[in-house]
Structure formats: C-alpha cells, structure tokens
A and B are shown apart, each in its own frame.
Chain A
Amino acid sequence: MSLRVLVGVKRVIDYAVKVRVKPDKTGVVTDGVKHSMNPFDEIAIEEAVRMKEKNIVKEIIAVSCGPQQCQETIRTALAMGADRGIHVEVAGKEYEAMQPFHVSKILAKLAQEEKVDIVLVGKQAIDDDCNQTGQMTAALLDWSQACFASKVEKTDGELTVTREIDGGLEVIKVKLPAVITSDLRLNEPRYATLPNIMKAKKKPMAKKTAADLGVDLTPRHEVLSVEDPPVREAGIKVETVEDLVGKLKQSGVI
C-alpha cells in the first residue's frame, strides 16, 4: 500500500538566534533575524522521506502557512525529499495573530482536499511552544492521533507508534488515517545535498490563501504584552558545605 503524507513545516526564528523582545512589547523582533524550519518539523519531513524510501509512502506534500518567506522553508523540505509544496499565504497583522487553531483548520482542510492518509507535524514549534496543532488537527478531522512519536512502524493497515511519555515509552497502534507528531528522538534529519537543492527548485509549489480553503483567521485571543524573562542574578561559588548552609540561612531560604 502506498500512502500520501501531508507534512506541516513552520518557519521560525532559528534556534541559535538570541530572541529579543520588541521595545513596544507587542512581540519579538523578527526583521533581519535568521529564520529556519522548526527543528521538529525537520524531523517530521525526515520521517516522511524515510517512509517513502521504504516504499510505505508514495507522495509527500509539505505545507507552510505564513508570509512569502515560508516558501524558503518549503524549498528546504523539497530539498530533503518532499515531492511538492503548498504555501498558504498569511501575512502582516493576520499572521501575527494566527494561532494553532487556525493552522489546524488549514491542515485539516488540506488533508481532506489532498486525500492524504497521514498528517505529520512537529510536536511543537520552538517559537511559541504551543504543542497544540497536531492534536487539534486530529480532533477537527476526527482521525486517530499519535503524538510525541519516537518510532513509527507500518503494520498492515495500521501504524505502530512508540510515544515518549512521562516516565517512559508507550507503544500504541493507530488506524489510518492518522495524525502523528514527531518528538526529538524520532530520527536525525538529513542535510540537503546541492543536487537535491537544485532539484527542489523544479518541484511544484502551489499557492493558496486561507480564504481559498474557507478558513476564517479571526483571532480568538489578543496578546496584551510580551515580556523578557526576568534577568537571573549572578550566583556565587562557595567552598564548603558549611559555607553553603550559612549563605542559605543568611538569605532566609532555610
């Protein structure tokens, strides 16, 4: 059997960049800041490509919702081995207010339109750490879900997924169609080679809007203020246990 997979790839501020809050506290500085594919989504793409290499999957569609620059993120996915891309353009104020709920609606709609068997997304994005999109997509579609996957195997008509849960691993079977979210240890994503980067330029990328998909992007909540975390005060080094206990007492902690 050959499956079709839709993989969500989000463009986020690169994990190595030191994030700065905008002076007006409406969000973080994104202009001129290096962006990359959300690392968990890279893992999701890698898993889809591996499934394709094992002939479990026939076609991989990479989708990204956001401004024009998301096309670079989709190209990266294509260079890693996705077959085609869909860019759902959401820009400006609308993009700033977009929430996992909206993205889930878009993914669910695309999953139906494209008749995919699996929606594969990262367990969370490293910018908002929401950890909601996969779950909500499964709910909207009423499909099975397997979140925080660290291993995905195909067993006839079903998937056997190992999930990372508190205190250990849980192995579950899910019926298809299903939504899977990738955890850190699912795989180690490959680096795109130059020939594949070149090939990726010729792969098709469709452009859509949320309106095309009938998704209303009206925000459900409003961000009042974005603040820097409190600055940690410098610590001190103590020589002995007695010193430590003394200092702790002195500071009123014990």
Chain B
Amino acid sequence: MFGACCCRSESNLVCNSLCCVLVVVNISVQLRMTSVTPLRLVSRLFKPVSPVRTITLAYVTKQCDKGSTETYNSSYEPDIGNLYTEEHLSLRKTVRKIIDKDINPHVDEWEAAGEFPIRELFKKLGNAGILGVNMPQEFGGLGLDWSYSLAVAEELGYINCGSIPMAIGVQTEMSTQALAKFGSDELRKQFLAPAVAGDMIASIGVSELSAGSDVAAIKTQAVRKGDDYVINGSKMWITNGLKADWMCMLANTGSGPVHKNKSLIIVPLNTKGIERVKIDKLGMDCSDTAQIFFEDVRVPISYCIGEENHGFLYQMQQFQLERLFASGSLIIGLETIIKETAEYCSQRKAFGYPLINNQIIHYTLAELQTEVEALRALTYRAVARYIRGEDVTYLASMCKLKVGRLARQVTDSCLQYWGGMGYTKEVKVSRMYRDFRLVSIGGGADEVMLGIICKYMETLPTVK
C-alpha cells in the first residue's frame, strides 16, 4: 500500500509511469507497420516528453516487451471465462484450508490484541507455496503466471478482516516484485528466497510524512560512503513495519531530476540506527503499521535493487500488481457482507415482516452485488491482459479506483441495514467498514487513480 504519484505538476509529468505508457502509445502508433520493439525505444526516449494528444483510446497498445503492437479492439479481448483452470481451483482450495483452519478461528482474538502471529502464519503460507506463486522457481517460488496470484488474492477474501490479506499482499506483490525482477542473484538469495519461504517478513517503504500521493517528493537520502550507503530520513505508514525483517526502501541516491535520482534499496531492519513506532489507526486493527526512522543507517551498496537511480521506474512497475491485488482480494469480502446482510435482514423483523421484504433493501443488495460482479469482470479482464504481457496501467487503475469506491458503498449501505448492531464491534460488517475504508487511500488514493485514467482519456489539463 504505497503512494502513487499523480501527474499534476510539470515535474510529475515526467516521472509518472503513465507518461511512460503514453510515450509507448505514441511510438506504437507510429511504428505499427514496423517490427521495432517499442520497449527499447521507450528506454531511449524516456525523457521529459509531454504526451502528444492526438491518439485515441482505440490505440492503447499491447505491451511493449512483447514487441507487437496489436491494437485494442474487441476481437483481441482475452477469454476471461477461462481464466481459472482446475489448477487454479486446487490452489484456491489449499488457501481456503489455511484460512478455515489457521486464520479465521483466531481473527477476533488477533483483532482485539492489535496484532497477529505473522511469523508463524507466514511460515505456514510459505510451506504451502502461497508466498511465492509468481516468484522464480530458483528462489523457491512456484513460477506461475499472475492469474494464479489472482486466484490466491480472491480466496484471501474469505479472511474475516482486511489486515491479513493486506499483510500477505505486501509480502507477495508490493515489497518483493522489483527484487524478483531486477535484483542480483546474491540479493535474491539473501532476501527473496527467505521471503518466499516465509522465513523473512518484508515491507515496502515508499511513503513519508511529507510525501504520499506525490512519491517524487520523498526526502530520505542514501549517500554513498565507501562500500556503503548511509541512510537518513524516515518512512511513514509502513505495513508489517514493526515486525518486518527488511524493507524495500525508495530513497534519493542521486542529484538528477526527481524521477531519475531514486533507488530501491533493501534495508535489513535490525541494522543500527533504526527506530520503529506503531501507528494507531481507524481500522486494520491487527495489522502493524509503523513509522520508521533512519539515522546514519549503513547498508552495503550491493543491496541496491537493479541499477542505481532507476528506483522510481522500478517502483512504478510494481503498482500494477498492487492495484490488481487490491481489487482481487476484496471481491469475496464484499460479496460476503452482502450475503450476510441479506441473511440478517431475512431474520430481523420490523413492522411485522422481515426487513428484507422492503424493496429498497433487496433491490439495493441486488444493485451492490451487480457492482461487485462488474468489478470482478474488470479485474479478470485486466489480469487476463496482464498475463498476456500487456501494460495494464489503464485497467488496473480503474480496478483500484472501483474497488475503493465500491468497498465504501457496500460496507456503508450494508451497515445501515444492520441498524444498531451494525454500529457495534460484534459484527463483521463494522470491521469491514473500517478496514476497507483504507482502500480508497492506500496504494494510491482514488484521486490519483482518476488522474491516471484521465491521462489515458487525455482529459488532464497540462500545467505549465
């Protein structure tokens, strides 16, 4: 759940991943007849370019690294009805078993305690392969495509709180993806393999006190001294932060433009000079969220993921998966709330008949369920395109926007029909009301998603 930069100011224009995508679009339009790989061109052309506003959505193209430039038309749509095979269902069954046996029976207790035994639980998930579904096999992962991760994310929706799916998502999709893709073998052996096995807890450190939506504005510095970086600064809102063994930190390492001066660095959190403070929150009670301070913290330069000063770009790439995870992991939770509300309203009587008999109630629930199915369809479509190698920033941003909005709508509408009960901590709907409220804020606020979608729609005014 890290920040997302939205292109408002001119500096953002060059730093947001979206600009990058639009550049691709432009190039692709020009190169549709040729066989040049757009990705190479993108990296060459990745410099301040303001998007040319001449193309239409019809030309949002297939992802660059495939080298093909098929256009976006309906015959090109993937068959999302076939997204899940028997293997996906087997994987979901395993996840469900862990949830029913090792998670849900304890959730109330963990929520009350304000923490859950993350180490123990991650070890169980790691043993079952759940923490490395899309990770390379050399490092203990299952090496499967992201449709399997979606299957897992969806099943995690059966967990009776938001905190635990979030903790798992941070580990599998948000903190480790850049490391898996761009990290050296040595770094991956040391930090990725144990995270996949469930022996290490990972966290992602992007947001700061003064920089959330505007990621480019982060202040934390990592300065080279000999073979080390010396890190000074602080990170805010760090999920799994109190117990994590390491952080994938975005820090300033260079003096160039804001999108070319940052690196992703693995920082072991038992290093000298680190202090962690717990943050008290509205919901997500058993998730530990921390503010973390760094004072002259030394880590080897070899802990930099990929190339120095490429961190911003790497970080932008991880956004897609975080967004898809967010929508995937909420679908079942939302459906469950609707279902339980229907059940409650069938039993609860007012004015001589069950509440559910009021048309406004059964219609509202039908409306909400329709929205959830629409969200599921959108998510499946985005994932089906993603596994085909496309850049799905456009659809993934819509998934993230929609899931945040819908989560608020479903939990608020349903809570209403529970009456006073809905306002107590006895019922799941109130927990979900608090937990899911985060979704519109964390991992890029709704407005940031809207900004990205506007860019694709070419309706965002350019600020000079």
Contacts and interface: CB of A to CB of B under 8 A. Distances in A.
Interface of A: 16, 190-195, 197-198
A191 B129 CA distance: 9
Given A16-B100, A198-B90, 14 more contacts: A191-B97, A191-B124, A191-B127, A191-B128, A192-B128, A193-B94, A193-B127, A193-B128, A194-B90, A194-B129, A194-B142, A194-B148, A195-B129, A197-B90
A191 B142 contact: no
A191 B103 CA distance: 14
B97 to A, nearest CB: 6
7 contacts: A191-B127, A193-B127, A194-B87, A194-B91, A194-B144, A197-B91, A198-B87
A16 B96 CA distance: 12
A63 B90 CA distance: 21
5 shortest interchain CB distances as A-B pairs: A191-B128, A193-B129, A197-B90, A194-B91, A191-B94
Most buried by A among B94, B98, B124, B127: B94
Contacts of A192: 94, 128
A2 B144 CA distance: 36
Nearest to A188: B124
- Majority SS at the chain A contact face: loop
Where chain B touches its partner, the secondary structure class is helix
Interface string B89-109: 011001001101000000000
A197 B87 CA distance: 8
Nearest to A79: B90
Nearest to A39: B101
A16 B99 CA distance: 12
Contacts of B127: 190-191, 193
A34 to B, nearest CB: 10
A192 B90 CA distance: 9
Contacts of A194: 87, 90-91, 94, 129, 142, 144, 148
Contacts of B128: 190-193
A193 B91 CA distance: 8
Contacts of B94: 191-194, 197
| Most chain B CB neighbours (cut-off 10 Å) among A190, A193, A194, A198 | A194
Interface in B213-244: none
A192 B128 CA distance: 6
A10 B342 CA distance: 36
Contacts of A191: 94, 97-98, 124, 127-128
Contacts of B124: 191
Most buried by B among A191, A192, A193: A191
Nearest to B125: A191
Contacts of B90: 194, 197-198
Nearest to A192: B94
Nearest to B129: A193
Contacts of B129: 193-195
Interface string B69-102: 0000000000000000001001100100110100
Contacts of A198: 87, 90
